[in-house]
Structure 1
Amino acid sequence: MNSDASVNVLYVDDEIHNLNSFKAGFRRLFNVFTAESAVEGRKILETEDIHVIVTDQRMPVTTGIEFLESIIPDFPEPIRILLTGYADINAVIDAINRGQVYKYIQKPWREDDLQINIEKAFEIYMLRKENRELTEKLLIANKQLEYLLRQDPPS
């Protein structure tokens, strides 16, 4: 992974010891932001440039899938990872279809496995960003070409 790039990771979980464990395990590798609820997570998204979101599925008030689905209109770019201690096929299907989840990982996570998945998620984030930027440049170049082609030929 490119060491020049700082990866901003948001981890949302209602269990404080999971938040502390995540932060302790990954703070040297990534810029870690933590939130105890979907509401706190949304506030962080509004103030920070988050690249990867990791969220627990089972939380009171708002599930991880509901949180991820709710932020898509305002924050479509971050890559999403869902963590859960429960194997529920319906949650997996909902995560993919509603929450646009990149990975579904079982708790307790293995630190090296989660690190690799966060790094891969960031690579996807950067590739999508580069693709958007290249598409914008292509559209501008196309408009300029169309303008030039519409000009009267020199006499």
Structure 2
Amino acid sequence: MTNQETDKISVLYVDDEENNLRSFKATFRKIYKVHTAISGEEGLEVLKNNEIQIIITDQRMPEMTGIEFLTKVLDFKKEPMRMLLTGYSDINAVIDSINKGEVYRYLTKPWNENELRSAIESAYEVFALRKENKELLKKLEIANDQLEFLLRQRLLS
């Protein structure tokens, strides 16, 4: 894998329509590392075997809705940013996606390439900031532990 390939944002797109998966991959494969899955179950397998930063899923799929898929994702991977994509303006789906699936963004089908690219880029910015904050918090905890140790040493001497 080239260095350029490892620097690409890793996106998982889950949709039960093969044409949508092909279209997404053809549109974004040059700028993102694109993974696709035709079902929620397949999407979970992709997540278990790959480092994914952004997840985009269709809402209306047989066997597992997009919200159900995103809720299952939260059980084992909280880091990826999650977006729900649907052709139906179902307000209950929007509310559930925000409350249950902790969705970053809700988008409608058919998707607009520029709008979707912008949503992926902004989601990645949030992803990167959260990761950086997590790393800084770890460093701060280590520094606090070291300071506490030094203070105890001085008090005992």
TM-score (norm 1): 0.95
Identical-residue share of aligned pairs (%)? 56
Matched ranges for 1:48-67 at <5 A? 48-67=50-69
RMSD over aligned CA atoms reads: 1.4
Query: Which residue number corresponds to residue 153 of structure 2?
Result: 151
Q: CA deviation at 1:71?
A: 1.1
Task: Please give the alpha-carbon distance, in whole angstroms, between the structure 1 residues aligned to 2:143 and 2:75.
Answer: 28
Equivalent position SS for 1:76 = coil
Amino acid aligned to 1:116: S
TM-score (norm 2): 0.94
Query: Which residue number corresponds to residue 30 of structure 1?
Result: 32
Equivalent position SS for 2:76 = coil
**Number of residue equivalences:** 153
Write out per-residue CA displacement over residues 87-131 of structure 1, whole angstroms, 9 at most, x where no aligned residue: 011100000000000000000000010001001111111000000
Task: Please give the alpha-carbon distance, in whole angstroms, between the structure 2 residues aligned to 1:110 and 1:82.
Answer: 14
Task: Please give the alpha-carbon distance, in whole angstroms, between the structure 2 residues aligned to 1:8 and 1:54.
Answer: 11
Q: CA deviation at 1:154?
A: 8.1
Task: Please give the alpha-carbon distance, in whole angstroms, between the structure 1 residues aligned to 2:50 and 2:87.
Answer: 28
Larger helix fraction of residues = 2
Matched, 1:5 2:4: no
Query: Which residue number corresponds to residue 82 of structure 1?
Result: 84
**Structure 1 unpaired stretches of 5+:** none
**Structure 2 unpaired stretches of 5+:** none
Equivalent position SS for 2:75 = coil
Task: Please give the alpha-carbon distance, in whole angstroms, between the structure 1 residues aligned to 2:154 and 2:9.
Answer: 50
